[in-house]
C-alpha cells in the first residue's frame, strides 16, 4: 500500500520544486487534474451559472480549482496554498481572473466577513488532520479553519471539499469541527461501490439546513434496486392471481416436501424453522 503523502513530510516541504514539476507535466499531458471537482462544483457548487461570484479556493496548488470550474463563467477567485513552489509555477500560467496567496489553512483564512460567495477545495482537509509540529493540534487547527471560513462566506452559501480521509475517525473529526463552527451539511460519496472512481465530498452550508446533492452513481443504483423490487412484487402478484403463493414461501416449501415424500425420496422432517427466512449472517 502506498504511503500517504501527509506522513512523508509537511505540505510546504512535500510539495517542493520537484513535485511542482511533476504536477506541471501531469497538467500538460493529462489535462486539468482537478476537472472532476469542477463537475462537482457545477452539480453542488456555490454559485449559479448565470451570475459572477467571488470564490475562495483552499489548497489551490498551481492552478486553482475555482479558476478551472469558472473559466467560462466569469467568476473571480482567490486561491490559498502553503507551498511556495506550487504558487511560483502557478503565477506563470495563463492570465485568469484571480489571485494566489501563501498561507497555512490551519491558521485560518483571514478575509473580510461575508466576502466570498463560495469555497471549493481538493486534498486540503486530510493535511489539517495531521500534526507536523509539536505546536500543532489537529482539533484546534480544524476549528480555527472552519470558524474563519464560516465567517468569510456569505449567508446561505456553501463550501465543497473533496478529501481523502484515512479512516472513519478522521471523517468524524472533520465533520464535528465543521458543525461546531456553525456549518450544516454532510458527506456525499460518488460511486461508493467502485474502488477507482469512488470520491468523497464534504458539502457544507452557511445558514439553515439545505438538501445535499445526489451522489453520482447512487441514482442508477437506486433505480436498479427499484426495478428489481418492482419485478419481484409483480411476480408475487401474478402468482396470487393464479392461486399460487409466493415462490420460496412457507406454503411452497411444504408443498415441495410433501411431493418428495409421495415420491419416496429422503426428506428432512418439519421443524419450527421450516419456511422461515434466515438472517444471512454467519
The CATH number of residue 135's host domain is 3.40.50.150
Look at residue 232 and give its three-state secondary structure: helix
CA within 13 Å, CB half, 116? 27
What phi and psi values does residue 2 have, to the nearest 5 degrees? Answer: -65, 145
* d(C-alpha 211, C-alpha 176), whole Å: 19
Question: Per the domain annotation, does 118 fall within a domain?
Answer: yes
Position 45 scores a pLDDT of 53
**How many domains is the chain built from?**
1
Question: Per the domain annotation, does 51 fall within a domain?
Answer: yes
Question: Per the domain annotation, does 79 fall within a domain?
Answer: yes
Distance of CA 87 to the CA centre of its chain: 26
Show the CA angle centred on residue 246, arms to residues 241 and 248, nearest 5°.
Answer: 155
Position 29 scores a pLDDT of 40
Asked if residues 254 and 275 have their Cβ atoms less than 8 Å apart, the reply is yes
Question: Per the domain annotation, does 241 fall within a domain?
Answer: no
The DSSP bridge pattern shows strands 98-102 and 118-122 to be unpaired
Which DSSP state fits 149? H
Question: Per the domain annotation, does 238 fall within a domain?
Answer: no
Which DSSP state fits 105? G
Question: Per the domain annotation, does 269 fall within a domain?
Answer: no
- For 66-97, the pLDDT digits (tens) are 555 555 466 788 888 888 878 877 666 655 56
User: In the block, which residue shows the cell 438472517?
Assistant: 279
What phi and psi values does residue 184 have, to the nearest 5 degrees? Answer: -120, 170
Question: Per the domain annotation, does 234 fall within a domain?
Answer: no
What phi and psi values does residue 152 have, to the nearest 5 degrees? Answer: -90, -5
- Give the residue ranges of the chain where pLDDT is below 50: 1, 28-35, 38-40, 42-44, 72, 223-224, 226-227
pTM over 0.85: no
Which residues constitute the domain of residue 73? 5-216
Position 244 scores a pLDDT of 59
Element (H, E) at 20: helix 17-30
Question: Per the domain annotation, does 229 fall within a domain?
Answer: no
Amino acid at each position: 500500500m502506498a504511503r500517504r503523502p501527509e506522513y512523508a513530510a509537511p505540505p510546504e516541504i512535500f510539495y517542493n520544486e520537484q513535485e511542482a514539476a511533476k504536477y506541471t507535466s501531469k497538467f500538460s499531458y493529462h489535462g486539468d487534474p482537478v476537472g472532476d471537482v469542477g463537475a462537482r462544483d457545477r452539480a453542488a457548487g456555490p454559485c449559479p451559472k448565470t451570475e459572477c461570484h467571488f470564490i475562495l479556493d483552499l489548497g489551490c496548488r498551481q492552478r486553482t480549482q475555482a479558476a478551472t470550474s469558472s473559466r467560462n463563467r466569469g467568476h473571480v477567485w482567490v486561491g490559498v496554498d502553503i507551498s511556495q513552489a506550487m504558487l511560483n509555477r502557478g503565477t506563470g500560467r495563463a492570465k485568469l481572473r484571480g489571485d494566489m496567496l501563501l498561507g497555512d489553512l490551519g491558521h485560518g483564512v483571514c478575509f473580510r466577513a461575508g466576502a466570498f460567495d463560495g469555497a471549493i477545495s481538493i486534498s486540503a482537509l486530510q493535511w489539517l488532520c495531521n500534526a507536523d509540529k509539536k505546536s500543532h493540534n489537529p482539533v484546534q487547527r480544524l476549528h480555527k479553519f472552519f470558524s474563519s471560513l464560516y465567517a468569510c462566506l456569505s449567508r446561505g452559501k456553501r463550501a465543497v471539499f473533496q478529501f481523502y480521509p484515512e479512516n472513519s475517525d478522521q471523517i468524524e473529526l472533520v465533520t464535528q469541527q465543521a458543525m461546531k463552527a456553525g456549518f450544516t451539511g454532510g458527506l456525499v460519496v460518488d460511486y461508493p461501490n467502485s474502488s477507482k472512481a469512488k470520491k468523497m465530498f464534504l458539502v457544507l452550508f452557511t445558514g439553515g439546513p439545505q438538501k445535499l446533492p445526489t451522489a453520482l452513481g447512487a441514482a442508477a443504483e437506486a433505480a436498479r434496486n427499484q426495478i428489481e423490487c418492482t419485478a419481484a412484487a409483480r411476480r408475487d402478484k401474478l402468482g396470487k392471481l393464479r392461486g399460487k403463493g409466493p415462490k420460496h414461501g412457507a406454503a411452497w416449501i411444504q408443498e415441495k416436501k410433501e411431493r418428495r415424500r409421495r415420491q419416496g425420496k429422503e426428506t428432512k422432517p418439519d421443524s419450527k424453522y421450516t419456511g422461515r427466512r434466515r438472517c444471512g449472517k454467519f
